[in-house]
Amino acid sequence: MATVLAIETSCDETSVAIVRDREVLSNIVSSQIKLHQQYGGVVPELASRQHLETVNWVLDAALQQAKLDWHAIDGVAATCAPGLVGALLVGVTAGKTLAMLHQKPFLGVHHLEGHIYASYLSEPDLQPPFLCLLVSGGHTSLIHVKDCGHYETLGQTRDDAAGEAFDKVARLLDLGYPGGPVIDRLAKAGNPAAFALPEGKISLPEGGYHPYDSSFSGLKTAVLRLTQTVSPTALSVPDLAASFQAAVAKALTKRTIACALDNGLKTIAVGGGVAANSGLRHHLQSAAEEHGLRVLFPPLKFCTDNAAMIACAAAEHLDRGHVSPLTLGVQSRLSLGAVMDLYNEAS
């Protein structure tokens, strides 16, 4: 059972955590949301600078919270892809430096593998195979989790990620950033059937529709059109928020259930910031019950970006003898199928 200290700086959260196997000993998250809010979205250069200023005290706080010193740490990990290159570089450089200084193995971790491992933190007995619905600000994927490091992406968005759609629609309605939580709150007071919005199906060249892929950009355009064509007095923002949220929740639920049933996967683990959405939780939970499937929503602190999920993934890799070379770089994009390219076998 490896004890790993991990650093996550792929986007706008600076986080350091220490995890032993699947037990979180500390998890400190410093969010940059306030910094980026004034610009309506994440500004990459500001994110990198803020990570640089924050990472040292977050690291100290994580060691203190876990009440551990470096003798107890078996390895150091950092998110190395995908994400904002400048932001990733801060965490990876800090991780490699600490690994060299304290003579520990270093592991680069794929951010999406971290989101998959978030489910293990709250469900220590969970074992592959299962289906992961990953819905965040940058990704919307249906992933067949086969084993540590072995994943098959069965479905994805062809354009905007689900969280991105929430953020863009919130911007259209002047609701601020990030859009998900505020739309979720407004939707509670609205009528989800007030506006008919498209489901975002992807047509196939041979006819019919892709069973698991989705598109959210048409949905965003439909909301834009409503704001341009319906008079402001007739356009209830809570109704629009509720209709938009229901459209996203239904589209994701339909594809997820079909994917689980077609592939014989009885458990669905949801991850990423949009897993917090009450509409998605409600629709997916009841559809899963109807089909005899188990659905797991990790607590919110493990759904949004955090280093505990990165440490959890790294701990399992380390247990299997996987370590990364200190020459490992960062990458803005990397498919989940390439996870094992990040590791050499330990010598």
The least CB distance from residue 145 to ligand KG4, in Å, is 17
Binding mask 295-324 for ligand KG4 (x = CB under 6 A): ---------xx-------------------
DSSP letter for each residue of 130-166: EEEEEE-SS-EEEEEEEETTEEEEEEEBSSS-HHHHH
CA distances from 228 to 190, 197, 207 (A): 20, 15, 33
The least CB distance from residue 233 to ligand KG4, in Å, is 27
Distance CA 107, CA 91 (A): 12
- Which residue sits closest to ligand KG4, CB atoms considered? 180
**Which strands sit side by side in the sheet containing 3-8, from one edge to the other?**
23-31, 13-20, 3-8, 75-81, 106-110
Distance CA 201, CA 165 (A): 15
Region binding ligand KG4 by CB under 6 A among candidate stretches 145-153, 161-169, 206-214, 255-263? 161-169
**CB nearer to ligand KG4: pick between 181 and 211:** 181
Q: The dihedral of CA 266, 269, 274, 279: what is its sign?
A: positive
Q: Which does 160 bind (CB under 5 to 8 A by kind): Zn ion, ligand KG4, none?
A: none
Write out 38-101 in H/E/C secondary structure: CCCCCCHHHHHHHHHHHHHHHHHHHHHHHCCCHHHCCEEEEEEECCCHHHHHHHHHHHHHHHHH
How many residues belong to the site for Zn ion (CB under 5 A)?
2
Q: Which does 167 bind (CB under 5 to 8 A by kind): ligand KG4, Zn ion, none?
A: ligand KG4
Considering the rule CB under 6 A, would residue 47 count as an interface residue with ligand KG4? no
Contacts of residue 38, Cβ cutoff 8 Å, sequence gap at least 6: none
| Residues in region 82-101 near Zn ion by CB under 5 A | none
Q: Which does 105 bind (CB under 5 to 8 A by kind): Zn ion, ligand KG4, none?
A: none
Considering the rule CB under 6 A, would residue 11 count as an interface residue with ligand KG4? yes
| Residue owning tokens 């949301």 | 33
Quick check: helix, strand or coil at residue 320? coil
Triad 24, 75, 1: Cα angle to 5°: 55
| Residues in region 101-160 near Zn ion by CB under 5 A | 136
Q: Which of 180, 192, 200, 298 binds ligand KG4 (CB under 6 A)?
A: 180
Considering the rule CB under 6 A, would residue 95 count as an interface residue with ligand KG4? no
Region binding Zn ion by CB under 5 A among candidate stretches 52-60, 93-101, 303-311, 332-340? 303-311
The least CB distance from residue 189 to ligand KG4, in Å, is 15
| Chain residues that interact with Zn ion, rule: CB under 5 A | 136, 305
Give me the residues that bind ligand KG4 (CB under 6 A), please. 11, 136-138, 163, 166-167, 178-181, 184, 272-274, 276-277, 304-305
